[in-house]
Amino acid sequence: MNSVTEHPRQASPAGHPQPLAALGDTLYVGAWDTNAIYPVDTSTWTAGPAVATPGKPYGMAVLDGSLRVVVSVGDDDDRYLYLYTP
């Protein structure tokens, strides 16, 4: 049986983190509470300035050096795909 190693926990840069995506040495954290994405430097665990999204970020994926972000917009919870290139 393999053992599980728990690493130190880090606080979320804003509210409840929902989608996460890693690109290089940066972890991108989406937050529903602020409708934003936060870049977090994984060597220091410090968050950079927030990048506003037009709604709640629901999902993120890395492709060709950019983030694809699924965003929920409006009261009807319409989902749109956005491209974010850091």
What is the reported pLDDT for 31? 95
- Mean pLDDT of all residues in 6-23: 89
pLDDT per residue over 55-73, tens digit each?
999 999 999 999 999 999 9
Q: What percent of the chain has pLDDT over 90?
A: 78
pLDDT band at 26 (very low <50, low <70, confident <90, very high): very high
**Annotation: CATH topology of 17-84:** Thrombin, subunit H (2.40.10)
C-alpha to C-alpha distance for 24 and 2, rounded to whole angstroms: 28
What is the reported pLDDT for 8? 83
Domain range summary for the chain, segments of one domain joined by +: 17-84
Q: Write the CB contacts of 66 (distance below 8 Å, at least 6 apart in sequence).
A: 83, 84, 85, 86
